[in-house]
Amino acid sequence: MWSFFHKLGSPPWLYAISGSILRWLLPITLLALFVGAAWGLLFTAPDFRQGNSYRIIYIHVPTSVVSLAAYYIMAIAGAISLIWRMKMADVAMRATAPIGAALTFTALLTGGIWGEPTWGTWWVWDGRTTSMLVLLFLYLGVVALYEAYDNKEAASKACAVLSLVGTVNIPIIYKSVDWWYSLHQPASIKFTGESAIDSSMLYPLLLMICAFYALFTCCLLMNMRAEILQRESRTGWVRKLVASKGDS
């Protein structure tokens, strides 16, 4: 276990293993996205209340779910960076932030598109939407903080602290519909008890959630690989890699 943990701290090893993972994960991800989107958008029946407008859940729900999970990954990477000073944890934290911001923005945008025909408004300042907006600002804050510092070690520490402090917002997002009056309905997918969504709609939704998790993983690995090459550009292994690519 510890040997694997130490390997994760090696830029050449992580770059190589991430490339191997991407070679098989990326085509599977694209296939899952295509099948899930076609299944949900084209072949499921209209909702008896919302009609066809409900179909945006196949984008809105996965982006919302994965944006929360991505924040935990960023915060864990920040904690590892602070405690053990692992460079690759810092790379993972920085690589996660723009992806999480894009997912959160998409969740907010699709939520507004869904809300207008469903609730009669594009935006409401309720607990769920407001806390999701805070999540977007936290992601953007990490991106901005890193760029604001010339000293990248100080930038990493500041970003790690912000990431850890921001984790208090995640349970607020989860429980906001239970704690405060909200136009958002309670969770439709339940791991204990019966889900409030019909199985014909549930299965493509679960597939899309899995596909978006895989998409996040692919984007994270690609961002990390780009960051590793930038940071290690003067090292021998990167020069050798560039030379081998040039010869081929």
Question: In the prediction, which pLDDT does 183 show?
Answer: 65
Mean pLDDT lowest for which of 25-29, 123-127, 133-137, 237-241?
123-127
- N-terminal to C-terminal alpha carbon distance within the chain: 36
- Give the model's pLDDT for residue 6: 63
| C-alpha dihedral, 245 to 6 to 26 to 67, nearest 10° | -130
146, pLDDT greater than 60: yes
Q: What percent of the chain has pLDDT over 70?
A: 90
Q: What is the pLDDT of residue 193?
A: 56
Per-residue DSSP letter, 221: H
Q: What is the pLDDT of residue 143?
A: 97
Name the band, by pLDDT with cuts 50, 70 and 90, for residue 187.
low
**Can you tell me the distance from the alpha carbon of 63 to that of 95, in angstroms, rounded to the nearest whole number?**
17
pLDDT given at position 69: 97
The DSSP element (H or E) to which 193 belongs, if any, is none
As given in the structure block, the two tokens for residue 62 are 């996965």
Task: Calculate mean pLDDT across residues 27-36.
Answer: 98
Q: Is a pLDDT exceeding 90 seen at residue 141?
A: yes
Of 127, 138, 5, 3, nearest in space to 71 by CA: 138
Q: Is the pLDDT of residue 23 over 70?
A: yes
Mean per-residue pLDDT, 204-216: 97
The predicted structure's pLDDT at residue 186? 66
| pLDDT in the model for residue 1 | 54
Burial of residue 221 (number of CB atoms within 10 Å: 0-12, 13-18, 19+): buried
Instruction: Please state the domain extents for the chain.
Output: 51-188+195-247
Question: With 80 as the cut, is the pLDDT of residue 130 above it?
Answer: yes
Mean pLDDT computed over 219-243 = 93
User: 92 and 75 in contact (C-beta within 8 Å)?
Assistant: no
Cβ 42 vs Cβ 206: under 8 Å: no
Tell me: the pLDDT tens digits for 58-110?
999 999 999 999 999 999 999 999 998 888 999 999 999 999 999 999 999 99
Those residues whose C-beta lies under 8 Å from the C-beta of residue 242, and which sit 6 or more positions away, are none
Confidence of residue 247 (pLDDT cuts 50, 70, 90): low
Per-residue pLDDT reduced to its tens digit, 148-157: 998 989 999 9
Mean pLDDT of the chain, nearest integer:
90
The per-residue pLDDT for 204 is 95
Alpha-carbon span 182 to 4, nearest angstrom: 45
Strand partners for 47: 51
